[in-house]
Amino acid sequence: MQNVIMSIDAGKNSVKVICEGIKAFKFENLVLKGERTKKPSNSNSFEVYFADERYIVGDKVRTLKDYSSNKIIESNKIAIYTAIAKVLDMLKIDNANIRLVTGLPNEHYTSKNEEDLKALLIANEISIKINDIEKKFTIDKDNIFILPENYSVDYESIPRTLLLDLGYRNTNINLIENGDMMQEYMKHSEKGIVTLKNKIAEELEAIYNEHFEIEDITDNIIVNGLPHDADSKEAIKKGIIKHFEELINEIESKGIKMRTVNHIALRGGGTKLIKMEHIREIFPKHSEKDSVTIEGDEYKNADIFQAVGVQYFGDDIDE
């Protein structure tokens, strides 16, 4: 039986997966149980059979999203097991020992929740079918490593780094001192990508007198059938700046004073909309010193989880 190290970042909006030997992938964190449920006709949704139950998992599944940050629930387990089965299918492996790295949101990162999540995910050579392909795997308690979602292994040479992970429904906030994460400053805000896009939509609507859904807000906005113009670019900038002004005020209210921060790092899906021109206005003093970086996109957490997993479990894939 092969050992497979993988990282799974099961966020409120999507599940991101990284494993050596395959291309990183993601799917919507939607899980619906039921025999009569119809599977959406797309390649990123999955029909899953596990423990005598049928589930539909992934993109465009017709169920309400659970935006709770609680990860110790059955639907999160099914989403993670689906990701594992998908990885094994891509690797052409039928049976494996899984070395798993996953995360908990900052506000739930406690020893008790770590143990409870491990207990939920433990698997003793279980069988699961994904799109009629059977896979088996085992996950021992000692082979599950749980990190805060906004984990970092960098910034050892910087006295104080503020790390913001801009997620779909919330932002994880971490303060790092000389490379060490300060647990008392592991905070979160409910201001995520949805809040950011709503701010941009408000600014666009004020200009064009047209309603914008948050799905319309991308880095290539179409207005009246045409790519965005100078007016819409200015509206986007205003919305982003307003969002960050509110976020910074909230961060300060949580005890992190911006004047004491030497470096600011941004990561997560929300960074796709942010340009350096925005950063210069949001963080003027830090920008002057080139002390603002964009670490990476929505796969950054999973990428770091995988690096930690290889170090923690060893880089030998085979027994």
Mean pLDDT, rounded, for 163-178 = 94
49-96: pLDDT as tens digits: 999 999 999 998 877 666 566 788 999 999 999 999 999 999 999 999
202-251: pLDDT as tens digits: 998 998 888 888 887 876 665 555 556 778 888 889 999 999 999 999 99
Q: Indicate yes or no: pTM above 0.85.
A: yes
User: Could you report how far apart the first and last alpha carbons of the chain are, in Å?
Assistant: 7
CA–CA distance, 317 with 6 (Å, rounded to integer): 10
The conformation of residue 156, written as its DSSP 8-state character, comes to: T
The conformation of residue 110, written as its DSSP 8-state character, comes to: -
pLDDT averaged over every residue in the chain: 90
pLDDT at res. 153: 83
DSSP the chain: -EEEEEEEEE-SSEEEEEETTS--EEEE--EEE-TTPPPPSSTTEEEEEETTEEEEEETT-SS---------SHHHHHHHHHHHHHHHHHHT-SEEEEEEEEEE-GGG--HHHHHHHHHHH-EEEEEEEETTEEEEEEE-GGGEEEEETT-----TT-S-EEEEEE-SS-EEEEEEETTEE-GGG-EEES--HHHHHHHHHHHHHHHH-----GGG-SSS-EETTEE--HHHHHHHHHHHHHHHHHHHHHHHHTT--GGG-SEEEEESGGGGG--HHHHHHHSHHHHHTT-EEEEESTTHHHHHHHHHHHHHH-S----
User: Out of 4-18, 20-34, 61-75, 278-292, which region has the weakest mean confidence (pLDDT)?
Assistant: 61-75
pLDDT at res. 314: 82
Mean pLDDT, rounded, for 276-293 = 92
Structural domains for the chain: 2-149+301-313 (3.30.420.40), 161-288 (3.30.420.40)
* Residue 200 pLDDT greater than 50, yes or no: yes
Mean pLDDT, rounded, for 99-127 = 94
